[in-house]
Amino acid sequence: MIERSKVLFEPGLLTIRLISKEDIFLFKTVTERDDDEADLLLLARSKVDWELVLKECMSQSREDLRCEVDLSDKLDKLGATYGLETPIDDRISQAAQIGMEQWFEEQIIEELKKYPGTAEELQVRFKCGKEILLPSLVNLEKMGKIEKVNGKYILKN
């Protein structure tokens, strides 16, 4: 961020910098303030470097902050409301889908640490249908993280 910022002036020991449009755009995708949507649209129309936005978003994403999900949601909303299209729409949408699947699998693992359960019990706990839950259970089994014993899913040692 510092490298992308521009020095406005340096009065003595203080340096005043202006952060890049791309960084402002990303900040506004992870917040929920009243004017964020209008600001995002204004920034998007001001020749944002979309490849930089995508790269920085993916580098900032982590387990407790899925930046790609927030960015995808905001771009979807701007697209639906204002017709905004960006060259990263498909890639960020795909990354967000993967991020959500990983997040859900992490939630399943946390739940199984506390209480092993059947697929039906997990559907009730997560308030979802089997079409949502079963692919994640299958994937976690393939990765060797969980196993099914006597009809219940448990963490694998």
pLDDT, tens digit only, all 157 positions of the chain: 889 999 999 988 999 999 999 999 999 998 889 999 999 999 999 999 999 999 999 998 877 678 999 999 999 999 999 999 999 999 999 999 998 998 999 999 999 999 999 999 999 999 999 999 999 999 999 999 999 999 999 998 7
User: pTM value?
Assistant: 0.78
Residue 138 lies in a domain: yes
- 11 and 86 in a single domain? The answer is yes
Residue 35 lies in a domain: yes
In sequence order, what are the residues at sequence separation of 6 or more whose Cβ sits closer than 8 angstroms to the Cβ of residue 94?
none
Would you state the pLDDT for residue 65? 73
DSSP percent split of the chain into helix, strand, coil, nearest 5? 60, 10, 30
Structural domains in the chain (count): 2
Handedness of CA 100, 104, 109, 110 (dihedral sign): positive
Range of the domain at 24: 6-100
